[in-house]
Each structure stands twice: as C-alpha cells, then as structure tokens.
Amino acid sequence: MKKVLAISLLLISSATMFAQNMSTKKLVKTFSQQMQEYKALEVHFSYVLNNTAENIHDSQIGKALMSNGMYRLDIGSSVIYSNGATRWTYIKNANEVSISTPNPIEDGILGNPTALFIIDENDYKYKLLTEITAKDVTKVEVELTPKDATKTPYKSIILGLNKATAAPISIKYFGTDGNNLNIAIAKFNANVKPSTNDFVFDITKYPGVEVVDMR
C-alpha cells in the first residue's frame, strides 16, 4: 500500500512539474514573440550593478530606445548610440565621444540593451523559480541558461514576467565578465516611432567634442 502511495505521489509530482514547465515555456515563448513583433521600444529602468571580484557596486537610472537592432542608451553621464554597424559612446562631462564597432558577445547588456528583449526561447534551458502576486499583478520569475554559452555574454538570466501579459517586470543578468545586474523596469512603451537619426551621434551638435576613434 505504501509503495502504491509513493508511486502515486511521484506521478502527481511529475505531472505537476510537467504542467509548470509547459506553462513556463508558453510564457517565455509569448514574451519572445511579443518582443520580436514590436517595431520599436522605449524602456525606462533602474539597475544595480555588482562585481564582487572587482569590488564594484553601482546603481543608476536609465532609458533605452530600440528599433531594428539599433539603440540609444542613456545612463548617468553617458549616452551610447548604435546603428548596428557603428557605436558612439558619448561622455557628457568630458565632451568626448568614442567610436567603435559593436560586438554582441563582448559588449554585455549595458553595451547592447537589445539583448535583454530579443530572446529565442529555443536557445535556452529554463525553469520556474518563483510566482508572487502583489497589487493584483502576478510576477513569474524564470531562469534561462544558454544551451551554448559561447554565443552569449552571460551565464544566465532571470526574467521576471507579468503572468497575465508576459510583459517584462525585472531582469537579473549574470555576466561571464563577473558583472551581475538587477534591472527593474519602470516604464515599457511600444508606441514609439524613432527615426534612424535617433541612433546616430551627430558630431555637429557638440562643438569642441573630442573624438576617439577605436575602430
């Protein structure tokens, strides 16, 4: 009798876990599909950056504008522009801009914010971590681990998604460079229509700017 009961409990547990995994997969897939359907995004966020090995702890408020692989990222005293082929990093206090060629693998999330939102669920192993309801919103946290770590600048990410809409609420990023980011999304707007000029640094608008070409 005890053996039958143990087997029954095991089957119920396995079935529950399977159902949770299917539900988690569907939620991540919905998130991925929505992100790919958006023509442009504007995201306001705050983040905390930690790197224990380098004794780094930093927190900032930022804003990202993204469209078709291009982006503009405003964080603190820096503004990063990228049209996909060229990246400009402008330091406001120094009136200096560095020009480089983007590298999706090496740049990390703070160098390429589009990596936060363009996720192919087939490239990851995933598992449900938590499900918490607060203020009538159920937040589901899902851990994504790359199947091929050589193709990504991070070891894992934890997506915090609205269970009802699959909209992102938070993202925890564990980088291969030791940088760990905890990002909270304050505003998520898909009703923006940027032009290509929004992703290019216009030197003529910055008299006396020092240009450092690193290409």
Name the strands in the sheet holding 78-82, side by side, starting at the edge strand that comes first in the sequence. 124-134, 137-146, 154-162, 168-175, 180-189, 41-51, 56-67, 70-75, 78-82, 87-91, 96-100, 210-213
pLDDT band at 100 (very low <50, low <70, confident <90, very high): very high
Give tens-digit pLDDT for 190-212: 899 999 999 999 999 999 999 99
Give tens-digit pLDDT for 31-56: 888 887 888 889 999 989 898 888 88
State the total domains in the chain.
1
Q: Which domain holds residue 151?
A: 2-213
CATH number of the domain bearing residue 94: 2.50.20.10
- What is residue 86's three-state secondary structure? coil
